[in-house]
Amino acid sequence: MRPQEGGPLPAAALSPYIPTVTSSDPLLVFDRATLRLRRERAAHAWERHDFLKREIAERLVDRLGDVRRTFPLALDLGSHGDEVATALAGRATVEHLVRADLGRGFAARARGPAVVADEEFLPFAPGRFDLVLSAMDLHWVNDLPGTLIQIARVLKPDGLFLGALLGGATLWQLRQALAAAESEIDGGLSPRVSPFADLRDAAGLLQRAGFALPVADSETIDVEYESALALMRDLSAMGESNLVAGRRRGLTGRAVLLRAAELYGERFARPSGRVVASFEVLFLHGWAPHASQPRPLKPGSAAHRLAEALGTAELSAGEKVERS
């Protein structure tokens, strides 16, 4: 039975499927309990700070235009303010869309079926969806390969995953300014901007998770701000500020922030006086395996030689080339 489009699910149906993490595992890089709290706060005034999510969602959905297929049931993983659903409006690509978000506030405001769910513990049956979309969400999971494996599991055979997450070059200007300011004032460094995945690893992660025909590429979105402090306020309002579990607790020293803002302006201001912040977006594309998909040929099974196609003579290994 497929869910029908309509209003948000009642509060009783939105109980979170989120186990409490008490492990001291060093692989738990991000503080997801804090992430959940920040998501709840961000949901209250999301319309003032949703521009980046809207842009990324639109770019992600545009990539569906290259796929000539209709998807009966799709999942929007990390739905925020329904930006993916808005980008899909008017398209015949997706018939029914289920939203899932870590924040109850975001799930409750969805314009269709929605659940509160943790990306690290997906509460969906195997082979449930024809398509999984995820925009600006998966950069906060501790075990990205494990989450990708779960996404592959909930897809039907020959189902499609399209994801967009922030990459390792995101906010490189802010990292540089904060590091310089903290080194100058405190005489040391602490993790102040969260680490994200690199493009060179992305396709390999998809392959490790069992996806067929994996593809990964990146785009950079440059955003202008009045100042570095305005950027920091916006990141906080979006729930996208530092979540490294080993980050320095308590308020960051005012002197460090002010010096970082000063350095940011000196190094990265544009002629207008505004500063630029770069967001690297990694786009992931993979299919759940199916017998109908093209497969690479076995070594030695080619029907024609490369030399024939190139119109050249074939030489055995070690044979000397005669030069005219």
Helices (H), the chain: 32-44, 51-62, 83-88, 104-108, 144-154, 172-186, 199-208, 228-238, 254-268, 306-310
Mean pLDDT of the chain: 83
Q: What is the pLDDT of residue 218?
A: 96
Based on its alpha-carbon atoms, the radius of gyration of the chain, rounded to whole angstroms, reads: 23
Q: What is the pLDDT of residues 64-108, one digit of tens each?
A: 988 989 999 999 999 999 999 999 998 889 999 999 999 999 999
pLDDT tens-digit map of 132-147: 999 999 999 999 999 9
pLDDT given at position 92: 87
| Residue 198 backbone dihedrals phi, psi, to 5 degrees | -100, 150
pLDDT at 169 over 80: yes
Q: Give the whole-angstrom CA distance, residue 242 versus residue 268.
A: 21
Residue 23 in this model has a pLDDT that exceeds 70? no
Q: Is the pLDDT of residue 250 over 70?
A: no
Q: pTM higher than 0.75 for the full model?
A: yes
Tokens linked to 271: 């002629």
Per-residue pLDDT tens digits for 254-267: 788 899 999 999 99
Q: What is the pLDDT of residue 65?
A: 87
46 band by pLDDT with thresholds 50, 70 and 90: very high
Segment among 17-26, 225-234, 287-296 with least mean pLDDT: 17-26
Alpha helices in 155-295, H assignment, sequence order: 172-186, 199-208, 228-238, 254-268
pLDDT of residue 4: 38
Q: What is the pLDDT of residue 187?
A: 60
The CA dihedral of 45, 47, 49, 51, to the nearest 10 degrees, is: 170
In the predicted structure, residue 273 carries a pLDDT above the cut 70: yes
Distances (CA, A) of 148 to 91, 145, 210, 243: 26, 5, 9, 21
DSSP letter (8 states) at residue 250 = S
